[in-house]
Amino acid sequence: MAHANELNRRTLTRLSSNPPLRQAAYDRIEDLLNEGELKPGQVVSQRELVEKTGATLAAVREAIPRLEAEGLLQTLPKRGLMVPSLDVAFVRDAYQMRSMIETSAVSYALKFLTSAEIDAWIAEHRETHERLAREADPDLANRFQRLDWKMHAWLVGAMGNALIDNVYRVTAIKIRMVVQSRIRVTPSNALRVIGEHLAFLEALRDGREADAIAALKEHIDNSLTLALGSNL
């Protein structure tokens, strides 16, 4: 699905001066963190990252300083690289930051996002809801997980602030690293998540700012509840 306002981070990166091999290695390591293939506390070598990413050793080595600066990897002298462990206090703080950024983005979304973009998101959510209501397809739930992440980043991108985009992106990765298994979209919870998204998107489409913020906040609060190990 094409969205008119969606020159996403990776597209922008490809147009920047960053060496493409280093960026490709970074992106693949980011994918491994997002998908839980690299877990908190896990120690890996540079060679293992080469095997997991398919990147060159030189590209992995060039990507590591950025990952360290963002707190996504830590170097252990003579041992390799460790995925940092983050505690419950971090999760609470991260969700507070996430809520502040996303709810602040709503007013920008109302100004700068087109009705065609919002309608496209709504249509894709409704189509996914119909398909999952017919069959609890794990592959479709996995694809919707990616759509979930993309939609939230799209909302934050409406602010047009590269610094906020990056802070939000790194914070979101860290949240997934810590509580991936508890907040992941699955066939059993996908319909609820889609319903929460639609409540927000439909209010956004209709220009109901207060309702959009309330629906978004409820969605984020539900995610935090699950992240902390409680039930809805």
> Coil, helix or strand for 76?
strand
pLDDT in tens, 148-206: 999 999 999 999 999 999 999 999 999 998 887 788 889 989 999 999 999 999 999 99
Give one word for 123, left, alpha or beta, with left for phi > 0 and alpha for psi -120 to 50.
alpha
Residue in 210, 213, 45 with CA at minimum distance from that of residue 53 = 45
Q: Give the chain's domains with CATH numbers.
A: 9-82 (1.10.10.10), 88-227 (1.20.120.530)
Neighbours of 12 (CB within 10 A): 13
pLDDT in tens, 35-75: 889 999 999 999 999 999 999 999 999 999 999 999 999 99
- Give Cα 52 to chain centroid, integer Å: 21
